[in-house]
Amino acid sequence: MNYLRIVGKGPLAGEITVQGSKNAALPILAGCLVGEGTCLIENCPRIRDVEDTLFILNRLGVRTKRSGTAVSVDASGIENISVCGPQAERIRSSVLFLGALLGRMGEVLIPLPGGCAIGSRPIDLHLEVMEALGARVFVEKERIHACASNLRGCRVRLRVPSVGATENGILAAVCADGETVIENAAREPEVEELCRFLVLRGAKILRTPDGTLHIWGKQPLSSTCFSLQPDRIVAGTYLCAAACCGGQIRIRNLPFREMEVPIEILRTMGLGVDFDGNIRAELPLKGMLQLTTGPYPGFPTDLQPLLLAALCTARGQSEIHETVFDNRFMTARQLRRMGAHIEVRGNRAAITGVAFLHGETVFAPDLRGGAALVCAALGAKGETVLGGYEYIARGYENICRDLKSLGADINLTEGVTDI
């Protein structure tokens, strides 16, 4: 296990540029499969989930090549329909090969997907959409086998606006005969980016004002070059880092428009954020928040652990109500070990701000929980040893590089620690 050593040393200062969006890169890399030709994906982050996805593509017989932050994907020939293997089993986004390969090849084998243990994370909605499009789906012991001689457009309504199920539906529908209508579709910016990428290739996709998606399948799809937007969750992570330890920083490519709600919440806490990405944090910030997470454009569940960390040393009592996942307060236990006053009851957390947290040996429970503990450690008194860096590396290109450039004392140590 690799681990981080972080010494809290006060306010941050400096400028950074945020990596490309993980949660846009993953569906778009799967989207390279729905048509022949070569796609160039620029600003594609060097993170483990992307590297796992490229490995899966290679095993399918797809040629990929990374040069710098650009990745080329040549999906002219696919030699395999099975996505199984350790790389696919450990990432949630391997489920997105269901729609893409069913659409392109008419058959697919995928493992039951992995991903962060932040809740039950079923895939029933994904399977419902595939069956609505005419696929036969067989749930075997540890994998899903789906086949369809010809996908037919359909009208389907999602019980919840699932990001992944929406993306899977889009990927299959672009290969289906006729029109597919997805009601209660997810509206996250990453879903919009997938649609923009597919439309650039020649797909016909329209979203009506009520959020319903209309996809007309079987359009000729060509090669394309597409540049990913900055990662709004990584940008939000660094906003919360400033909220935890103070300072004045600038995020050169802050995706402001996609972050209006979290930015507004942080502004009510006293964090200064402007359109150019200038961030000013004078501690202590103000707590006394009643916050509920929700689907876009609500407060993103992925920033909930980061805000939880920032509220630990904000003045007053706050409450967070997590409505998207059913087990996403695992970071609270590690924060309590650092001196935080957090009480978790079901899907609600009550936080009472304290003056300081103290350095401790803690363990990342998942990707965003690990990033939240990094933020808390930046503002804590003393040294923190954080195990489970592998989780953080799934979504952050180089959190040490980014935070060091803002003046933080953070180092990655290879090896085993008895955390």
The catalytic site residues sit at 116
| Cβ-based nearer residue to ligand EPZ, 34 or 283 | 34
Residue 29 interacting with ligand EPZ (CB under 6 A): no
Residue 164 interacting with ligand EPZ (CB under 6 A): yes
Tokens of 277: 């990405």
Specify the residue for token string 């600038």.
Answer: 250
Per-residue exposure over 235-248, b if at least 16 CB sit within 10 Å of its own CB, e if not: bbbbbbbbbbbbbb
Using DSSP's 3-state secondary structure scheme, residue 179 falls into strand
| Cβ-based nearer residue to ligand EPZ, 129 or 362 | 129
- Residue nearest ligand EPZ by beta-carbon distance: 164
State which of positions 322-381 bind ligand EPZ (CB under 6 A). 324-325, 367-368
Residue 99 interacting with ligand EPZ (CB under 6 A): no
Residue 48 interacting with ligand EPZ (CB under 6 A): no
Residue 204 corresponds to which amino acid? Answer: K
Residue 110 corresponds to which amino acid? Answer: I
| Cβ-based nearer residue to ligand EPZ, 163 or 283 | 163
Minimum CB separation from ligand EPZ for residue 167, in Å? 7
Using DSSP's 3-state secondary structure scheme, residue 156 falls into strand
Minimum CB separation from ligand EPZ for residue 127, in Å? 7
Residue 175 interacting with ligand EPZ (CB under 6 A): no
Give the other-Cβ count within 10 Å of 122's Cβ.
10
Contact region with ligand EPZ (CB under 6 A), list: 5-13, 28-36, 138-146, 159-167: 159-167
Q: Which residues contact 399 (CB under 8 A, 6 or more apart)?
A: 4, 237, 371, 374, 392, 410
Minimum CB separation from ligand EPZ for residue 188, in Å? 6
Contact region with ligand EPZ (CB under 6 A), list: 22-30, 37-45, 65-73, 261-269: 22-30
> Rounded distance, CA 260 to CA 258, Å?
6
> Rounded distance, CA 27 to CA 273, Å?
30
Strand order in 155-157's β-sheet? 155-157, 179-183, 213-216, 204-207
Residue 122 interacting with ligand EPZ (CB under 6 A): yes
Contact 279, 250 (CB under 8 A): yes
Residue 321 interacting with ligand EPZ (CB under 6 A): no
Minimum CB separation from ligand EPZ for residue 49, in Å? 7
Contact 78, 99 (CB under 8 A): no
> Rounded distance, CA 248 to CA 253, Å?
16
Contact 384, 361 (CB under 8 A): yes
Minimum CB separation from ligand EPZ for residue 419, in Å? 22
**Total number of residues that touch ligand EPZ (CB under 6 A):** 28
Choice from 19, 23, 87, 180 touching ligand EPZ (CB under 6 A): 23
Residue 297 interacting with ligand EPZ (CB under 6 A): no
State which of positions 208-237 bind ligand EPZ (CB under 6 A). none
Contact 368, 380 (CB under 8 A): no
What is the contact surface with ligand EPZ in residues (CB under 6 A)?
22-23, 26, 92-93, 116, 119-126, 160, 162-165, 186, 188, 301-302, 324-325, 367-368, 395
